[in-house]
Chains A and B, each alone.
Chain A
C-alpha cells in the first residue's frame, strides 16, 4: 500500500543528507484493547502477564520483544505486535482477556510510519500542535492528536528522536502529501 503513496527514494530538496527519513512499519498486528471502568486494573494485569509490559496508565508507549502498548485513553490501549498474523493475534488476545475487555482488530485500519532524521522535529511542528521538545515529550511519550486535520496516534521510540505515527488507512494518501510537502525543504528520504 505504502509504495503507491510515495515513491521510494528522495523527495524535495536533493542536496546533502536528507533531513527526514520515513519508513513504513509493515507486518504489524494491531488491535485496540478497551476495558470497562471497573476492569481497567484486571485488563492491565492480563496484558502485563501476556506481554511482560506494564500497560501505561497515561499517554505513553512501552515496548518489549516487538510488542508495543500505547496508552490512548483511560482503560484503552493500542497494541502493536511485529511479525504476527493479525487474526491470530486478535484471537489470542481475546482468549487471554476472556471477556474482561474488548479486543478489536485494527491491523488494516492503520498505516504505521516511522519518522526520523535531523529535521523530523521541524517537520512534525508543521502539523503536530503539541510540544515535542525532549523536556516535554521524551522517548516513550505518546499522544492521540491531529495532523493536517487527520487523527493520528504518535509516539516517540528513541532519543534520536524517532517517532512512530499510526495514520488511518483512508487518509494515508493525504497524510503523505502533507509529509512530502512539509519535509520538502529538508529533503525527504523514503525507505522501504
Chain B
C-alpha cells in the first residue's frame, strides 16, 4: 500500500471500486482457527478511507492487524511512523480519530476500541497522508527537539512566542483534533453502593467476586474490557480440562444469577477517593455507531464500597533499544493476546526479545496457534529448560545472552542482534518484546501512597493501601494463575469477615501455575539509532541523559523536563524504564529513585461524562416564579437572575425596544398602578418566644419593640462588620415574625440564622422554616395601589391610611377567601403594598389585579422597571451590598443601635471601617443631561489625570430615569455625602467614556417620602 494514499485521486477511485463491490480486503493475518471472535459475524470498517473486514469480538487494533495494517499513526514530535504496540489501555502509539463529524473522538486507543459494523477511523498527526508525511522531516531536527527544547528554544524575542512559535509548535506537534462541534450525545451520572467492589475481572477478580457473591454479599465487579476474563482470555490457560475462557464464562454466568451482584463491563474504575468512594466510567454506547435512543454514550459512576479488591492485573513493559519504535515492534504479551484471543498473527515472521519467562510462554502460544516464530532472543545466559523445549521442538532459533541493538525497514523487516560481541542481522517482520511485568498499582496510590520495590519481579508492588482496599493477583505481583485464584478468594474472605459476612474460599482449581523469573534489564546500551523510552511523547534514552546532565534528576523533574510519562497513556509502558535509566545514571538505585505520583484518572475520561446532564440550560436547575405561566401568556421577556427566571419587562405591541417598555412601566407605576412578582425574595418564618431577641442580635436595629402588625426595614452585618443583607421583616404575632431577604442571599441568610441558633445561642427558643416556596408575593405600587387592592381584599378589611398605615402588616383573605398576607412596604417609593398568597394562587392573584386595576391602566412590571425605580429611590441592592460596604457607607449608619449588641457591631468600629474618607453612597447625575452614565465608571476629580492614584470610588448602578428624563446613577464616592453639589468625572476607560457628573442626594424621587404615607 506504500505510496497509494499519497494520491487522493487514486484513493477516491479505489474507494469507489470497493464501495461498488461492497467488500473489504481479505483479512490475511487471521488464523484459521481459535480465538474468541465470532467468525459468523463479519464487521465492515474503514480506516483512512480504506475498507476492511473484521469480526465481532475484535478490537480496532486486532482487526487492523488481521488485515495486515501495521502503520497506524505518526509520532507526537518527530512524526515517525508508528504501529500497534500493545493490546490494551497502555497503548502509546495507535491513537486514532474515531468516527466523523460532531462525534469525532481524537486520540482514541485502537487497542481498546471494540469493533462495530461500519466503524470509521483515521490516523492522526500526518499530512498529507499517513504514509507520506511532510513533517516527518522533524526527525532530522531531532537533535534540536530533545528534552527541554520548549524551555531552551524560541526564548527570544518574547513577542514571537504567542504569534509565531506557539502556533508553529502546535501545528507540528500534537495528536488528534477535536471536532469543534457540539457533542450530539448525552452523558449521565449514577451512584452505586456495595459491600465489595472488585476491580478487574481476570482470574483474581472473578474468584473474589464469586467468593463474595456466594456469601450473599452485595458485589460490584467492574472491568474495563467488553468481555470479562482478563488474562484468562489472552493467555489461553487450561483450568481443569477446559480452556480458561470457558471457566470465565461459567463464572460470569453464575455471578449473573445473584440478585445483589452487579457486573459492569466496559467500565473503568479510574480513581479512588476518600471514604471508600471510587470513580468509574461506563462506556454504555461507545461500541455502537451512535447511542440507541434514550441511552447516554457514557455514564459516570460514583461507587461507594465498604471493601474493595483490586485485581487490575499487570502491564508489560518493553526493553528499550535502537529503532524500537518501528511498526512491527510490539509487546510480547500483546502478540500473544492477538493470537490467543483474536486469532490474529501479528506478523508472518516473528522474533521475540525478552528478559523473563512470560515471553517464552508467549512464544510457545504463538507456535501452538500457528504463528511463525523463528527467533527467540533473551538477555539472560540461561533459562529454565522447560521453556526451551517447546521452542526447540518447533525449530525456533534460540539466542541466549543476546540483545537487539537495532532495527531496519519503514515497517520492520529486520533486526540487528548482538551475541557475545558479534552483531548479526536477522529477518523479522514482527519483534515481540518483553521487559517484564509491572503490577497495576495505580489505584493503590491515589490517596497518596507510594508502591514498594520488589527485587524478585523487578517491579513496584502495592505497599500501603487505601482504607478498605486489598490487592490480589498480578496487581499484587503474583503472576501465577493458581496464585491469582487463591489471592482473589482469600482477599474476598478477609474483606467480608471485616464486615461480619462469613465467606469461604471456593475449592482450589487445578490450574497451570508456571514460575516467573526475570533478569532485570531496561535498555540496550549498544543501541544503534534512537531508542525510545516513551513512544507517545518521543522521549529517548538520550533525553533522559540530557535531563540528568542538566540537573532534572528527581523523577518528577524528569517527567516535567522530558514529558516522559505524560499524555493519554500516562507512561504505563515507559515510566518504569525511564526511572530505571535515571537510577543507573545517578547510581542511586531504583527504590531510592522511586516513582512519580499516580493520580486519577487511570485512563482518560471524557469531560462530558463529568458534566453529565449538566450542560446548556441544564447546567443548573432553573427556578420558576409562581406567576411564570401567567407572565409567559402576557408576552413577558425573561432574564436569569441567579437560579431564577424572572420577568424582565412586558413589551406591548408597538413598543420598539426594551427601554420604551421599561419607561412605560415606570411611568405607569409612578402615575397609576403596577405590580411585580417579588416571590424570589427569601422568606423565613421565625417563631418562638425568643424570636425578637434573635432579630435584635442579627440585625443592627432593634426588633423586640416592634409592635404586632408592623413591618420594619432591617440590615444585618457579617461578623467582620460588613453588610451581609437587608430586607423587611414583619411581626405577625407576639412570637411570630416573617423575615424577607434579598433574592441572592436567601439561602445564605437562612444558613446564618441556623448557625446562630445551633452554635451561638442554642439557649434561644426560636424555630425557623423557609417559606420562600410557599408564598407568591406581588408588589402592588402606585398612587392607585390602594384603590386597586380594595377591589380584591375580602370585605371587612380596612385598607384606609388610618387603619393600615405605612409599614403595617396583616393576615387577611382576598379574592373570595384566599388566605393572604398584606404588607404596606415600598421599594418603588410609591404608595405600595406587598401581597402574599399561597404559591398555587399566584396566577389567580395576578389575573385579579389586572382586572381590579384595569380602570387605572394597571401594568405588570419586570425586574428592569423594579431596578430603575429603586435607583430613583436610592435603595441599595446587589451592586451596593457587595460585601465590601458598611452600613455607614450605605448611609444606614444611624440605624445601628447603641443600646444593644449585634453581630458585626464590634468589628464595624474598626478604624478602617469608620474612616470618613471611605467611599459612601451618593447619587450622580450628568452635568450634560443628555449624557448616559455607565456602571463601573471610576470617579476622578475634575482636571486630574485618570490614573489609579486619583481614583475616588466608582459608579455602582445606573439607569435612565423616565421620571427625570435623564440618566442617573448611584455610586460609592470618597467622602461622598459631604460633597453634595460638587462635580467629579465618571471615567470609564473600558468603554471610552469620561463624563462630568454632579454629586447629589441618592434619593432622586420624593426625598421626604411623602408619597409612601398617603
Residues of A at under 8 Å CB distance from B? 1, 4, 12-13, 32, 34-38, 86-87, 99, 101-102, 104-110, 122, 125-126, 128-131, 133, 135-136, 148-150, 168-175, 177-178, 181-182, 184-185
Contact = CB atoms under 8 A, between A and B. Distances in A.
B773 A131 contact: no
B101 to A, nearest CB: 24
B839 A109 contact: yes
A34 B768 contact: yes
Contact of B735 (A38, A99, A136): A99
A179 to B, nearest CB: 11
B897 interface: no
A133 B304 CA distance: 13
Contact of A109 (B218, B295, B623, B773): B773
Nearest to A169: B773
Interface of B: 186, 188-193, 218, 260, 293-295, 302, 304, 613, 618, 620-626, 629, 644, 685, 687-688, 735, 762, 765-769, 771-776, 819, 838-841
Contacts of B626: 169-170
A86 B840 CA distance: 12
23 contacts: A13-B294, A32-B769, A36-B688, A99-B735, A102-B769, A104-B687, A107-B774, A107-B838, A126-B190, A126-B191, A129-B191, A129-B302, A130-B191, A131-B193, A131-B304, A133-B260, A168-B773, A169-B839, A170-B626, A173-B622, A173-B624, A174-B618, A174-B623
Most buried by B among A105, A169, A173: A169
A125 B191 contact: yes
A60 to B, nearest CB: 19
Please name the 10 residue pairs, one residue from A and one from B, whose CB atoms are nearest each other, closest first. A174-B621, A109-B773, A102-B687, A102-B767, A170-B623, A131-B193, A34-B767, A108-B838, A109-B774, A184-B294
Given A104-B771, A149-B621, A171-B623, A1 B190 contact: no
Contacts of A170: 623-626, 644, 772-773
A42 B21 CA distance: 86
A177 B618 contact: yes
A39 to B, nearest CB: 8
Contacts of B294: 12-13, 184-185
A178 B613 contact: yes
B193 A133 contact: yes
Given A34-B767, A87-B819, A174 B839 contact: no
A104 B750 CA distance: 15
B621 A150 contact: yes
Given A13-B294, A125-B191, A169-B773, A35 B838 contact: no
Nearest to B291: A185
A177 B613 CA distance: 10
Contacts, number: 111
Contacts of A38: 765
A140 to B, nearest CB: 19
Contact of B688 (A87, A102, A168): A102
A169 B843 CA distance: 14
Contacts of A150: 621
Contacts of B189: 126
A34 B769 contact: yes
A182 B189 CA distance: 9
B188 A125 contact: no
A55 to B, nearest CB: 15
B305 to A, nearest CB: 11
A187 to B, nearest CB: 8
Contacts of A110: 773
B193 A136 contact: yes
B190 A105 contact: no
A173 B773 CA distance: 14
Contacts of A125: 190-192
A175 B773 CA distance: 15
Given A36-B767, A125-B191, A131-B304, A13 B293 contact: yes
B39 to A, nearest CB: 31
Contacts of B613: 148, 178, 181-182
A104 B772 CA distance: 12
A12 B769 CA distance: 37
Nearest to A183: B294
A130 B644 CA distance: 27
Given A148-B613, A173-B622, A182-B188, 14 more contacts: A12-B294, A32-B769, A99-B735, A104-B685, A104-B769, A107-B774, A125-B191, A129-B302, A135-B218, A149-B620, A168-B773, A171-B623, A173-B624, A178-B621
